Structure 1
Amino acid sequence: MLKQFRNQKRLLSVFLWLVIAAFIGTIFLVWGVGGKNQSSNNYALKVNEYKVSYEEYQNSYQNTTDTLRQLFGNQSGQMPSNEEIQKQVITELKNKYLLLGQAHKLNIPVSDTEVMNELTNISSFLQNGQFSPERYTNVLRANGLTPAAFEQSLKEDIKISKLRNMIRNSTRVTPSEIKKEYTYRNTEAKIRYISFNPSSFKDSVNVKNEDLRTYFVENKENYRAPEEIKLKFIEFAPQDFDIETDITQQEMESYYFQNKSEFSQPEKVRASHILIRVRNFDNETEVKNARNKIENILAQLKKGKDFAEMAKKYSEDASAQNGGDLGYFKKGEMIKEFENTAFSLETGEMSGIVKTVFGFHIIKVTDHQKAKELTFQEAKDSIAEKLKERNAEQYFNDRVFRIYSKILKASNISAYQSKNDNVTVHTTKYFNTYENVYPLKGSPDVKRQLFDLPETEVSNVIDIGDKKYIFEVADRKDSYVPEFSEIEDKVRQDYLQEQSIQKALSYAEKLLKKNKNIENISDSINKNYTTTPFFKRAENIPGVGINSKMTENIFGAKKGSTLDKPYTVNSKVYLVELADIKTPDFPADKDHPDIRNFIANIKSETALNSYISKLESNAEIWIAPSLRGYIGN
């Protein structure tokens, strides 16, 4: 059973993770579109009372495709097909609304606090690492959403997440399952093999021109050149538009009184800590050892040992290198047990042992600042700096958009450049969507927008880092398959390689038919065999490489037997015999948390899929005719 689960997980886990990540990544683009009360019949699918619009479907599909393109890069040929992506997106949307309906039936609660915690951690709404209410409303407005609608959708997302977790947490891992998985992972094999290099068979390959053409026709998509564009762009950097502005007393006072909430300084603490981690509180031995260790550290601290030095020596947190220093933090930024203790201590005071989900801590407060409201005099310098930055940013934006207006009036960058010799226009080389060119490296969404831009049209003003850009597609080369004559040498090379491998395989198969023993085959062709050291399933086969099917058959073979067919690994052909196999002793006194978690993940996903299947069997599901082919209806 675990073997089936394991194979399914290997095939689907990356793809499903990408699809789910795609849904989460565009939550504010997708959520809020589907719903119970859409009056139009123009929807992509209906799950019980929920109607999913084509807009939600298209947004989910587009984002999933973009995510896969980023993952596979130049290996686009390995991407799932459009049909596979569409099928998975439809399945994920269907599952989402099946679970949402069930979560409502079960009255799964979601508090406003939970919504706000989730909201303030969405990266799209952060500015300088902090949640920005202004950015939040601007992003929602740009996507046609109101805060109330978005927060309701987010609440539903949390409901679904809670239901998923309830189902996943309903499974248990048994000792026999752990033992079986441990044995599976740690069994070791040793093989004997004879390798055949296909290059030795190239001279026997008869290459006919008609065969090359047939091979080219059958594999022409492998030779397709991707679409390429060449861009013109103007780059604007803030430092190129520096201005010195005098900030008046009146401006500063006005800002202070209009934004008094900015100058209310909340209570905050600067603390250091020493952490001894506990990864599994159900493991009594681990808990006891950690407790003894933290008690010993506390005893040394009480005798006068330096806290920072003890943290560097013993703490199991990343802050150890800084003497345990965590810097300043406000209420709500630390886990509750830690926060309660830290804020109860005065400057210089040290706690006893504090237990959290991470383990055992000792906390020392190095500064405790009470909440206060800054006076105008205390805030004056920061206000002046903020106003200077605001004025400079406004000036920069005004100058950029003034130039942008002139470019639009001229029709494009090329026309504007012909009338303005002083402007610097940059030109990229021709590039495809998988290549990185300045200034688009690390900006796949911008790159996608530009590939969709018609030739000679001008983009919007686009922010990349702290700079602004205006782009124009100067030229475009469509994707195409080259003529056979243009790539005949490449086709010949690929054909020769493929046919040489086939010749090597045929030769190895003939040898295997005559003799099933590697040593005898070696003698018959006067070619040495190689014996590997022991290796495990998850490891490369020493001197050979990775072929999952070959590895599976090696560990499933009887000692002394030869595998029933040759295998190709890294363009070489191998005949393989299982020389020896070792089964490990199972250390029953250990907890094996990695194995436990692995099995728990598999079983929890299986439980979730089973639960969804049951919901689906009792649901009324309608899929638009244009999409039914992708789901198998």
Structure 2
Amino acid sequence: MLTWMQHHKKYLVVTIWISVIAFVGAGFVGWGSYDFNTDRSNSVAKVGNEKISHEEFNLKYSQLFSYYSQLNNNNYTQEQAQKDGLDIQAINELIQEKLLLSYAKTLGLEVSEEEIAYDLAHQKIFHNASGVFDKNLYYNILSRNNYTPKTYEKLIHDELLLKKINMILNLQIKNEELDMFAASFLMQDKLKIQVIHANNIPINEAELKQTWEKNKELYKTQKTYNLATYFLKPDNEKINDKELQDYYDENKNNYKDFSGKILNLEQSKNQVLKDIKLSKLKLKANESYVALRKNELSFDKNITINDADIYYPLELIQKGKEGDFIKPFKFKDGYMIAKIIKINPAQTMTFEQAKDEVSKLYIKEKTKSILEEKAKIALENFQGIDIGTYSRDSAKGSKVGNMMNDAEFSEFLMQVFDSNKAKSYVLFDDKAVIYEIIAQTLENKNKEEVYRFIIEQSARQTKQSLIKEELLKKLIELYPIQRYYKGSTN
């Protein structure tokens, strides 16, 4: 499902630009998200000097979940998202954005505080009943959703910078390009089709083992780390007003609104209280770290983690060796100290360990091979039925019936119109659809005028997408990518 949506998205005729507030708005209304507490680790990935934070990951995941949910009439579930690898798609899209941000900064592009303030002031979610930006409403909404103004304004900054780099890539469409795109868009094919299904595929144990032998390097156990840990949580001591005021006076530059104005103590009180308790706990954590190293204190829990457990300081752990201590790091609502007891390297799975996963690959490859063989034979004596005339954006007609669902039919049309063959086939997981184009026509000029704006936008978007695709290939060579999050382990 997700593969089709990702591919089909290229051909949406209206450019989809969703602002930062749409990302956050998705999170506000409870769309799918991952529980990434920023106190647990610094980032999920790094591109050049640009880190991808957990907040950014969650917002991107929420945006994608919202997008696919709306495409599926709100029937998209967390289980389906996990199956589709939505978390990995979120990471990949963020990596692409960070590549473009790095390039934008190399070009000297900047976003001023005035631009951020202007954008923020026009986000209606923060407007009061009078339609005016309300800073108290702004702070309250962010606080309720565990975002600081600094974090949110950084997201706005990056979004505005991405818009600037995209404007550079948004080149003028030539008349010849527009004519070609219009012809492609308005072309109609009269089609005959025949659907061939694959029967249940029996598993041949010897062939299955051969599939494993050929692909066994793809099936590895995860590298794991046995850690001894010690967790410290803040005391419930009461902070008096003087201590609160003194800490605020010393650190008030850390508490600012979107325009850079320092917040007063009342506005930042909750965060100040939290910071005081964590600063006190940090001293205690450092003392405990020394005591643990001297064997004057015992670790309280042994755990095993892997490279997908981003709540832990993976960079330090991955670079460490057995016996190394990990200094206090923020974890949940406190601090944790760890010691690397044992490092278990990734190993190639045995045939029995990998059997279930290899079976899926075997059936998929076997099905594809059988369908392709049947499709080639059927092409020689094609006896399809006439299903009518369709353009690239047509909905499924009644003559198609149950031969394909709506998503499959859209994918089928896309491949037909992207192919230069008048007679061929399209493969799906469980069927092959053989087709023949028996006539082609161009829709009338009146329809071209009706769709002119859409055609221009789609042509511009397609050209920009192709340019961006080539640029990203080059940027990957310029800015090193480090992934700390490898995917959900659920």
Give your verdict on TM over 0.5.
no
| TM-score of the pair, normalised by structure 1 | 0.36
